[in-house]
Amino acid sequence: MNSIILFVFLPIAGAALIPVIEKLRQELADVLAIAIAACLLALSISFIAPIRASGSLVLILPGALSFGQNLYLDSLSLLMVLVISTIALFALIFSVEYMKSYGAKGRYYALFLLMLAGMNGVVLSHDLFGLYVFLEVAACSSYALVAFGLEKPELEAAFKYLVLAAAASALLLLGIALIYTRTGTLDFAAAGDTLSRGLAEGDKSVLFIVVLFLTGFGLKMAMVPFHAWLPDAHPSAPAPISAMLSGVLIKTSGVYALVRILYNVIGIQTRPEVGRTLMSLGILTIVIASIIALVQTDFKRLLAFSSVAQIGYILLGFGIGTTLGFVGALYHLINHATFKSLLFLTSGATQHATGTRDLNRMGGLGKRMPVTATTSVFGSLAISGVPPFNGFFSKAIIVIAAVAQGRQTGNAVYYVFALIAILFSIVTLAYYLRVQRKAFFGLLEDEFTQVKEAGVAMSFSMIALAVLCLALGIAYPWLHNTLLGPAASVLTSPSVR
Amino acid sequence: MILHLVLLAAIAVCALRAVLLTDLLRSAISLALASAALSILFFELGVPYAAVFELSVGAGLVMVLLVSAIGLTKRAPPENEEEGKSLVLIIPVLTLLALAVIDIIAFASLDSRILPVPGAQAASFEETLWRVRWLDVLAQLGMILAGVFAVLVLFRKENDPIVIAPRNEGSARVEEPHGS
């Protein structure tokens, strides 16, 4: 199963080739970048059946030593590469038209593909240092992509992002160094044996490692109180990059990496208080980010705060620590990737057409941009948890998991958290209805009478993601049996292999 | 042990100077000195390959690249350097102190020595690089490419078409909403 390496090798090779190919013909760069993302999506889909049959696949590189690094594809990694490839494909199709005015398109695609390679490496690596290096590949590419416009706010946002992400990396590296010192290995499974035993016995050094990872990955995923960089960085980036950052990067380099290490390496199942800490941080993230989102007038900044809030829901699901909680969290992770990418693309299309992100200046754009407006409504309803869209089902599962755990443990906190999750879903609906009313409904402002609908490529991406928002909700039973259930079982099993 | 502490202090001081100095050349030299001190520390800790890489790349190659780049720039007219200087000084010092505290807690919490990886002791440097840590090498390739493209993007020439939004013909630049 050596084709697993293509998830990392193909985008790196593409990044090296694109600037050369661009010299021959500009359009070839568009074609190559999209073809690579499409190949990765096809490759991910081709692994669904083998992974269902065998549970996990390992890439054994010819000549590699038995204790050396390898790439592992299990149900959880497969779910992640499917999400990454899907969002990347639509973001790249959107970029063909959207990125024309930025220039340096070849270099943009190269950085995009390197970010893709980094994210794929993170989800396929079962070696702590390998995971760290791929995190950095994705992060370094994303700093440059946030600053791509070269305007002052963009450079400032990228610098803020770089400084905070570097602090996160320092904490993660220290955590990894401590694990190596403690266990003598960087391999997930080998380190996991010692660490889970240590945690169960109340070893303080393992608890300290948990704190380091929680802070480091908390910064990467913009969990409250470490969220300060995201509302600047995500709106500053070009729209397809905002879609990638909010849609998949914070989940891959933050949520996925944290959960994989906490549950599969450190084994926090034996310490329920760690799970409860995750839940509390999740609730804090939902409440604070939602309240701030309510008062935003910048379209993309509002979406950025909304991303922080939705990360809270995912953390809440993972913190519950039951199979149902994991299913809900993973389902919301996929769903958020689709509707938040869609919403960032619609905000990009709106900005592309009107030249502003200020909601107070917009109005009645639905008349001139029906595709953008309709897909934006789809995204807004999905993220607000309105049935039959996907967001409704994932939030419902998280709430049901919290209530079920409350019943089982007799702990009222779970009920309170479930209630807060429901209440703030209504708050989410409130600020997204405000977005729709201010941007797309009402009277068309005079200055926007000449505004045109987004082009074919941009519209295609938005329509495809809007359809996905609906399809992922309707297809939940299939999703559960094929992807979510097996992925959740990876987290509940004591060992990664 | 004393030598290790002296070297750690030297690294910290040189790194701080690299951040705080406004003269780019002096800042680059401070960075090279920090790398050189780190390289000596690596030798002392018994990792000669890491030491050689740190010395040749960190203190050597990077220094040459930085000095070459600085040679291509012109000195900017002096600005009001006093403004915000105390803040510029406080942030790196506080960061360093915070990291030092975290490090002390981390090492105080350790109760065991580094354990050997089964079979790893027999692996040569070449085997370790190409057959054990091959994924890191592949990732490093991605890292180098990301660095190269980041520099090319951030320092692209003025005649490269750059972002002017809205992306419609004849429109003006994006307006930042008030209060955002």
Phi, psi of A24 (to 5 degrees): -70, -50
Q: What is the mean pLDDT of residues A223-236?
A: 91
The residues, any chain, with a CB within 8 Å of residue A199's CB and separated by 6 or more, are: A206, A207, A210, A266, A267, A268, A270, A271
Q: What percent of chain A has pLDDT over 70?
A: 97
Query: Quick check: A147 and B149 CB within 8 A?
Result: no
Residue A342, both tokens: 């869609």
Q: How far is B7 from chain A (nearest CA, A)?
A: 19
Whole-number average pLDDT of chain A: 92
Closest CB from A141, A174, A301 relative to B106: A174
- Quick: pLDDT tens for A436-478: 999 999 888 888 888 999 999 999 999 999 999 999 999 999 9
CA A96 to chain CA centroid, Å, is: 22
Whole-number average pLDDT of chain B: 76
Q: How far is A49 from chain B (nearest CA, A)?
A: 26
Name the pTM for this structure: 0.90
| Neighbouring-strand partners of residue A71 | A59, A125
Residue B174 is predicted with a pLDDT of: 44
Furthest-apart CA pair in chain A: how many Å?
A: 69
Residue A436, both tokens: 């729709």
**C-alpha closest to that of A181 among B23, B94, B106:** B106
Residue A217, both tokens: 């990955």
Query: What residue in A sits closest to B122 (Cα-Cα)?
Result: A65
Query: Cβ(A354)–Cβ(A448) under 8 Å?
Result: yes
Q: Which residues of B touch A171 (CB under 8 A)?
A: 102
| Neighbouring-strand partners of residue A356 | B175
For chain B, the C-alpha Rg in angstroms (whole number) is 22
Q: Which residues of A touch B112 (CB under 8 A)?
A: 181-182
> Binning pLDDT at 50, 70 and 90, where does residue B179 land?
very low
- Taking CB atoms and an 8 Å cut-off, how many pairs form between chains A and B? 209
Contact with chain B for residue A140, Cβ under 8 A: yes
Query: Cβ(B125)–Cβ(B49) under 8 Å?
Result: yes
Q: Which residues of B touch A143 (CB under 8 A)?
A: 150
CB atoms within 10 A of CB A436: 16
Query: Cβ(A435)–Cβ(A302) under 8 Å?
Result: yes
Distance of alpha carbon A332 from alpha carbon A403, whole angstroms: 17
Q: How far is B29 from chain A (nearest CA, A)?
A: 22
Distance of alpha carbon A257 from alpha carbon A250, whole angstroms: 10
Q: Which residue has the higher pLDDT, B158 or A217?
A: A217
Q: Is A356 a residue whose pLDDT tops 70?
A: yes
Residue B138, both tokens: 């592949």
Q: What is the mean pLDDT of residues A70-89?
A: 94
- Quick: pLDDT tens for A232-269: 998 999 999 999 999 999 999 999 999 999 999 998 88
Out of A86-95, A359-368, B75-84, the most confident range is A86-95
Q: Which residues of B touch A212 (CB under 8 A)?
A: 102, 106
Q: Is B113 a residue whose pLDDT tops 70?
A: no
Distance of alpha carbon A445 from alpha carbon B37, whole angstroms: 63
Query: Cβ(A284)–Cβ(A224) under 8 Å?
Result: yes
| Neighbouring-strand partners of residue A187 | A127
Query: Cβ(A282)–Cβ(A398) under 8 Å?
Result: no
- Quick: pLDDT tens for A7-47: 999 999 999 999 899 988 889 999 999 999 999 999 999 99
Contact with chain A for residue B121, Cβ under 8 A: no
Q: How far is A276 from chain B (nearest CA, A)?
A: 24
Q: Which residue has the higher pLDDT, A262 or A59?
A: A262
Residue A256 is predicted with a pLDDT of: 96
Query: What residue in B sits closest to A147 (Cα-Cα)?
Result: B154
SS3 at position A71: strand
> Binning pLDDT at 50, 70 and 90, where does residue B121 land?
low
Substitution target in B96, B127, B149 with the highest count of A β-carbons within 10 Å is B149
Q: Is A338 a residue whose pLDDT tops 60?
A: yes
**C-alpha closest to that of A107 among A9, A234, A21:** A21
Closest CB from A98, A134, A355 relative to B174: A355
Q: Is A344 a residue whose pLDDT tops 80?
A: yes
Distance of alpha carbon A344 from alpha carbon A300, whole angstroms: 7
Distance of alpha carbon A472 from alpha carbon A470, whole angstroms: 6
Q: Is B10 a residue whose pLDDT tops 70?
A: yes
**C-alpha closest to that of A453 among A369, A373, A347:** A369
- Quick: pLDDT tens for B35-69: 999 999 998 888 888 889 889 888 888 888 888 88
Substitution target in A109, A114, A199, A351 with the highest count of B β-carbons within 10 Å is A114
Contact with chain B for residue A240, Cβ under 8 A: no
Distance of alpha carbon A451 from alpha carbon A367, whole angstroms: 10
Q: Distances from the Cα of B36 to the Cαs of A174, B43, B49, B53, B97, in angstroms?
A: 22, 11, 14, 11, 22
Residue B71 is predicted with a pLDDT of: 82
3-state helix, strand, coil in chain B (%, to 5): 65, 0, 35
Query: Quick check: A101 and B167 CB within 8 A?
Result: yes
Q: Which residue has the higher pLDDT, A349 or B87?
A: A349
Chain B, residues 1-60, CB within 8 A of chain A, namely: none
Contact with chain B for residue A101, Cβ under 8 A: yes
- Quick: pLDDT tens for B13-37: 898 888 888 888 899 999 999 999 9
